[in-house]
């Protein structure tokens, strides 16, 4: 079946502009995660969704970052007033949560964000 998809694959924006990054998880996966991969910080967790709720937002670096998920499916990560330090690859992952446990996370190809 289809894997996790993300769009756009590349985004170049000017400092101070807002950007929206989209994630389409694997169908039926109720858990969704956003991570960021940058040269200076490595791979770091941003936010976790279970269904449409985000019980863990502890990784969001500032209040310029927000995310939502609708219909238990698509998620959007929004960065307002982008700064150069926001330049990174933003990765989305989803996993299946069921009564017997939790399955592994499957990652999308990422969105490479460049803030000029």
**Could you give the string, one character per residue 55-74, with x where binding to other proteins holds by CB under 8 A and - elsewhere?**
xx--x---------------
Among 23, 69, 110, 113, binds other proteins (CB under 8 A): 110
Rule CB under 8 A: is residue 1 a binding residue for other proteins?
no
Please tell me whether residue 87 binds other proteins under the rule CB under 8 A: no
For 113, the enclosing helix (H) or strand (E) is strand 111-115
Tokens 């770091």 sit at which residue?
44
Asked if 10 touches other proteins (CB under 8 A), the answer is no
- Please select the residue that binds other proteins; options are 8, 17, 102, 116, rule is CB under 8 A: 102
- CA separation for the pair 93, 12 (Å, rounded): 22
* Interacting residues of 80 by C-beta distance below 8 A, sequence separation 6+: 18, 64, 65, 66
Q: Using CB under 8 A, which residues numbered 38 to 57 contact other proteins?
A: 42-45, 48, 50, 55-56
Separation of alpha carbons 26 and 2, rounded Å: 7
Is 114 one of the binding residues for other proteins (CB under 8 A)?
no
Assess whether the previous peptide bond of 8 is cis (omega < 30° from 0).
yes
* Nearest CA-CA partner of 90 in 19, 15, 26, 17: 19
Binding site for other proteins (CB under 8 A): 31, 33, 35, 42-45, 48, 50, 55-56, 59, 89, 91, 93, 95, 97, 102, 104-110
């Amino acid at each position: 079946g289809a894997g996790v998809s993300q769009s756009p694959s590349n985004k170049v924006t000017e400092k101070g502009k807002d950007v929206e990054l989209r994630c389409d998880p694997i169908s039926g996966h109720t858990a969704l995660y956003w991570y960021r991969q940058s040269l200076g910080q490595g791979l770091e967790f941003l936010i976790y969704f279970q269904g449409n709720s985000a019980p863990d937002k502890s990784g969001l670096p500032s209040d310029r970052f927000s995310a939502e998920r609708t219909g238990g499916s698509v998620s959007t990560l929004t960065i307002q007033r982008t700064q150069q330090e926001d330049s990174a690859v933003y990765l989305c992952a989803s996993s299946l949560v069921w009564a017997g446990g939790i399955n592994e996370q499957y990652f999308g190809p990422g969105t490479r964000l460049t803030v000029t």
